[in-house]
Structure 1
């Protein structure tokens, strides 16, 4: 994309009605026959004690063979094992319908699928579709994955009373006594690195011995087209909640996604290697990332070569989550043409979260974010990090984090890239840090334009190993007066224009590769420049 076109897009994006026109979704919706059949016609029994797996799957199979229609789950409590969704089926949950999946692990077969972007053996997902078209899950009911039966739990995430109750329920503890597992099989799986990975030397017996550890994603829609998820509450998943994988034309609206805040891998929505996606008017309160964009991990993701592209997220609310809107860290197939508008993050660990690490490869580019409103963010309001570690973003009790080792490495296909982000009109009332950007010495984060930021945070701006970063029309209130306005390390072409600051005065420069820092229209601060570890004060210009 040439510079003129980028400028035109930015101008369009930041001017009201033109932004809406630019970001108008183009996603094909499914359509269904009006014919409706209830699962009770196939012998389903409510009450939560009778296993209805066969009845529900028969209802889907018969309706599919007749050309499709609506399979109705009426009001009531319906217990089931795994369900296979098929083409032209709208699985519709009536108001007060609770579809709950059994905690009898023997009902879930081991299948080869994808987990965190690489081929893995996992337990079959409670709702699964492969190579299907024109499918939907709609209504006003609740789908519950019974995830508490599967998940390991960290002691640091529970009160003493909760922890004692959990231990008394059964299960086993690890050697340190600080992680609970639901069974010995689950604990054994945790002792291996990537135990579910499909590779030579592992036979069926190996996977069976650690079966309980291989938790399923609750909704897996793989290589499907024209999908609608609407109105339903999806909750209590064993691992990820909703996982569209290598699918196209996906519409998600008016859903509610819930997981306990302590749930390991309890993501809300993981959109992986998908094309043409609309997510709107939905709420998330989960244990890991809320709305997360992925495209495969490392060599497997690069070989797949399927970016997530043409995605719109608008009018969504996120409560607890590790990140509100997230890209990564498994983004090795790339991501592009992502549009996010009018979203609210309340108490979310990190607001806008873009994460990767060496080895991933892949390019994330052409990301347009507008009208984001945040409150009480425990971590960073906006974060770009190319040193991602698979840990909670907020340090738990007893944990200690070491800064990454900084070294130049050769640029290869495994070197990830973040570039061409346009973020406009972000309001944040309370965060640990307003903005954090950390690239790699050999591959800077590039071409990030942020306009109209109004931020209250304990710390200000932190830019490391980055190029062509522009902040314009920024209001920054730093709650800790000892902190700096901006810390800049080994970065160049940094523009801070129309910057209104309260409670901070310091610009701290480090690194001999720091150059061309331009500050214009600074108000509310008496600037103090610090330069050390090879940085020169003369590289910053303040007018």
Structure 2
């Protein structure tokens, strides 16, 4: 096989591209409708000078619109300063072009409330925008909502230049004893250095209030939601967090957070049902588009999966993952349809993560049409060893797994199964495909078809069952193209690779068996396969 140029990579992938959106299996999402009656926030005392706190005006306008039977609350062009906003039934909060809603950076303007944090019950500060048990709500328009996240976020020294760090420290706040992290206040630092107990009275949290960063948009148990056209930026933590919601549509939404923002996710759909995310842009500090369903025992007890979600025609720039499931997926995830998305400069492309203790089943995931460039880590990653740290190791850190023995199966054992991933291109990654299951629970039933992946490493497959690669090109300079450990029922059909690859396949582990290599020109590799002494005889079949 001749060496493949970048142009050939794109041509090959484009030739395979199909349109998945014609499937009759796609869920139907109900969208809200509103009366045309319109109320201006300025009529309720809001002042667009960037100095006058207009919280009361926003509240009065939204409540009056709700009492009138619904309609539109209009935010005209201008700079509007406000505290937290609570949505109401049948209200469309519409931001005109040129409208900037700036949430105040005064942290005491956000009271402590009972909410959730990373999939578990928690006390946090009130979200800048929130709604609970609502129906028929929307935030629309071409304006911007800014969450004043700089007033809340800690920042790691390693993520800034020397000049940036110097300016940040000079701006106020405090630095930890190691002098490697900045916090906006002593309260924030105190919270970071202690184990925060759940289920306490609000008085317990007062001394660490600044540490309890809110998500920017928090919607809980709401139905028929529309977010369209608006830019949500600079969130204290997660940007958009619908929880236990039904029939949610995001269209032409932009979510932006600084790339160094801890927990700065773009979108987290948690235990939601029937959703559409289309033509959206994410440029954030953590995962871009993320699917969740609660964490560990609380998530399993809730038992509400995220299901029937369509994601299409979206772009993700900086993020820890482009499209992500987990790691809080204890209530399960099923029936997701992802198509025609582009990831540029994310740490990982398709990122599916969990860990022991989570439980939950992730299944029936359909991905078709993903293009990626400059991926720092893995283009496609299934990882059951999630460790709650950046997916790309910092300088000096190791990403190698410790040797972990199998554990008995229980309700806390997570499962990844039944994924179909088609028509993927990646120009530049550390690893093309990595699959890491648990010794007691393999990653199962994965099809990757019609892919061209250019990366430093090709395939790493550990503890996997029924993995099928068909029409996959792995463009890698690695001496060993595919590394397989303790995996079985693997089929590699029409695998293409660079000429003069030293070793096509390295197989290890006494549980490796039933591996097939089909329709693949092995003559371009110096050696087809090597096995360790513990691998059963006749592990590999070639046709």
With structure 1 as the length reference, what TM-score do the two structures score? 0.95
**Residue pair 1:357, 1:387 contacting (<8 A) in 2 also:** yes
Q: Which residue number corresponds to residue 30 of structure 1?
A: 32
Q: 1:268 aligns with which of 266, 270, 282?
A: 266
Name the residue aligned to 1:217.
215
Q: Distance in 2 between matches of 1:399 and 1:182?
A: 27
Q: Deviations over 1:424-449 (max 9, x none)?
A: 11011111100000000111110001
How far apart, in 1, do the equivalents of 2:181 and 2:20 lie?
Answer: 51
1:506 equivalent in structure 2: 504
Distance 1:517 1:327 in 2: 28
Within the alignment, does 1:444 sit opposite 2:436 as a pair?
A: no
In the alignment, the residues of structure 2 paired with residue 156 and residue 461 of structure 1 have an alpha-carbon distance, to the nearest angstrom, of 30
Q: Following the alignment from structure 2 to structure 1, what is the Cα–Cα distance between the partners of residues 396 and 257?
A: 24
Q: Deviations over 1:18-40 (max 9, x none)?
A: 75223544000000000001100
Partner of 2:9 in structure 1? none
Deviation at 1:122, TM superposition (A): 0.3
For residues 393 and 466 of structure 2, the distance between their equivalents in structure 1, rounded to whole angstroms, comes to: 31
Cα distance in 1 for residues equivalent to 2:425 and 2:153? 35
2:3: which partner in 1? Answer: none
- In structure 1, the residue matched to 2:138 is 136
Find the residue that maps to 1:151 and give its secondary structure: coil
Q: Relative to 1, partners in 2 of residues 1:41 and 1:306: Cα closer, same or farther, differing over 3 Å?
A: same
Correspondence for 1:531: 531
Does 2:490 align with 1:494? yes
**Does the 8 Å contact 1:23/1:312 carry over to 2?**
no
Pairs within 5 Å for 1:39-58: 39-58=41-60
| Alignment CA distance shift 1:19-1:28 (3 Å) | closer
- The question of whether the paired residues in 2 share the 8 Å contact of 1:90 and 1:137 is answered with yes
Q: 1:62, 1:19 → 2: CA distance? A: 40
Q: After superposition, where does 1:127-166 map in structure 2 within 5 Å?
A: 127-166=129-168
Which has the higher mean CA deviation after the structures are superposed, 389-398 or 260-269?
A: 389-398
User: Secondary structure of 2:373's match?
Assistant: strand
Q: Which moved more, 1:21-30 or 1:136-145?
A: 21-30
Is the Cα–Cα contact under 8 Å of residues 446 and 469 in structure 1 kept in the other structure? yes
User: Structure 2 unaligned runs (5+)?
Assistant: 1-15
- Is the 8 Å Cα contact of residues 20 and 368 (structure 2) preserved in structure 1? no
Distance 2:290 2:20 in 1: 26
* 1:540 matches 2:540: yes
CA deviation profile, 1:143-172 (whole Å, cap 9, x unmatched): 000101100000010000100000000111
1:95 is matched with which residue? Answer: 97
1:469-480 to structure 2, matched below 5 A, reads 469-478=467-476, 480=477
Give the secondary structure class of the aligned counterpart of 1:189: helix
Higher relative contact order (CA 8 A, sep 6+): 2
CA contact (8 A) 2:139 2:230 kept: yes
Q: Give aligned pairs, total.
A: 524
SS in 1 for 2:102: strand
| Deviation of 1:476 (Å) | 1.4
The answer on whether the counterparts of 1:501 and 1:522 sit within 8 Å (CA) in structure 2 is no
**Residue 140 of structure 1, CA deviation:** 0.2
Unmatched segments (≥5 aa) in structure 1: 1-13
Distance 1:162 1:18, change over 3 A: closer
**Shift in Å, 1:529:** 1.6
**Is the contact between residue 254 and residue 282 of structure 2 (CA under 8 Å) also seen in structure 1?**
yes
Which of 392, 411, 414 aligns to 1:413? It is 411
8 Å Cα contact 1:509/1:537 also seen in 2 = no
* CA drift at 1:205: 2.8
Q: Kindly state the Cα deviation for residue 536 of structure 1 after the two structures are TM-superposed.
A: 3.9
Secondary structure at the counterpart of residue 348 of structure 1? coil
Partner of 2:461: 463
Describe the SS at the equivalent of 2:23.
helix
Match of 1:125 among 111, 124, 127: 127
In the alignment, which residue of structure 2 is the partner of 1:170? 172
Q: Secondary structure of the equivalent of 1:493? A: strand
Please give the secondary structure, in 2, of the residue aligned with 1:455.
strand
Query: Would the aligned equivalents of 2:123 and 2:202 in 1 still touch at CA under 8 Å?
Result: no
**Is contact 2:293–2:306 with CA below 8 Å preserved after alignment?**
yes
Structure 1, 26-35 or 397-406: larger mean CA deviation: 397-406
What TM-score comes out, normalization by structure 2 length? Answer: 0.95
Q: Deviations over 1:229-277 (max 9, x none)?
A: 0000110000000000000000000011100000000000000000000
1:40-70 deviations in Å (ceiling 9; x for gaps): 0000001211101000010000110110110
Q: Please state whether the residue corresponding to 2:397 is helix, strand or coil.
A: coil
Query: After superposition, what is the alpha-carbon deviation per residue over 1:308-352, rounded to whole angstroms, capped at 9, x for unaligned?
Result: 000000000000000000000000000000000000001111000
**Counterpart-to-counterpart distance in 1, 2:436 and 2:399:** 16
Q: Which residue of 1 aligns with 2:354?
A: 356
2:515 is aligned, of 505, 517, 520, to 517
Residue 401 of structure 1: how far off its partner (Å): 4.1
Contact 2:265 2:284 survives alignment (8 Å): yes
Please name the residue that 1:326 is paired with. Answer: 324
Tell me the residue number matched to 2:76: 74
Could you tell me how far apart the structure 2 residues matched to 1:424 and 1:208 are?
50
Partner in structure 2 of residue 11 of structure 1: none
CA distance in 1, matches of 2:29, 2:532: 52
Determine helix, strand or coil for the equivalent of 1:22. Answer: coil
Q: Deviation at 1:537?
A: 5.6
Contact 2:290 2:324 in 1 (8 A): yes
Question: What is the Cα deviation at residue 527 of structure 1?
Answer: 3.5
Match of 1:290 in 2: 288
